[in-house]
Amino acid sequence: MITLWHNPRCSKSRQALALLEDRGVKVTVRKYLEDAPSLAELQALHAALGHPPVIKMMRPQEPEFKAAGLSKTDDNGTLLKAMAAHPKLIERPVAISGDQAILGRPPENVLKLA
């Protein structure tokens, strides 16, 4: 079972979902813009991704990044809190299986959890 943090308006997210479904993988879709993850969930995701720099989990080109006064050099805690407050800043898609996760950039990455 894979949980996919999904934005249906994103082509990469749609591609990742299709790849998983085409291989018969059971997928639970979480529309994270409607059901925003908590700070604790984002911290758990950070750990499941192997503790990358948090900026790698973000979409710094989104207008909300600049509007929130964020910088790519901000500390991890600040960036995680910003994603909790502004889920649009979360890089998508995110595939989660158990205590492992992967960013679907490129979408084929999600197959590593299948």
Bridge-based pairing state of the strands 94-97 and 2-6: antiparallel
Q: What pLDDT sits at residue 50?
A: 96
**Number of domains making up the chain:** 2
Residues marked active site are found at 10
Structural domain including 47 reads: 38-90
Are residues 51 and 81 both part of a single domain? yes
**Per-residue model confidence as pLDDT tens digits over 19-51:** 999 999 999 999 999 999 999 999 999 999 999
Enter the pTM of the model. Answer: 0.94
**SS3 of 100, please?**
strand
**Per-residue model confidence as pLDDT tens digits over 90-108:** 999 999 999 999 999 999 9
**Per-residue model confidence as pLDDT tens digits over 59-93:** 999 999 999 999 999 999 999 999 999 999 999 99
Are residues 55 and 86 both part of a single domain? yes
Are residues 27 and 44 both part of a single domain? no
Nearest residue to 106 via CA among 40, 8, 13, 2: 13
On whether the CB atoms of residues 75 and 82 are closer than 8 A, the answer is no
On whether the CB atoms of residues 110 and 29 are closer than 8 A, the answer is no
Are residues 3 and 28 both part of a single domain? yes
Are residues 84 and 99 both part of a single domain? no
Q: What CATH number corresponds to the domain at position 112?
A: 3.40.30.10
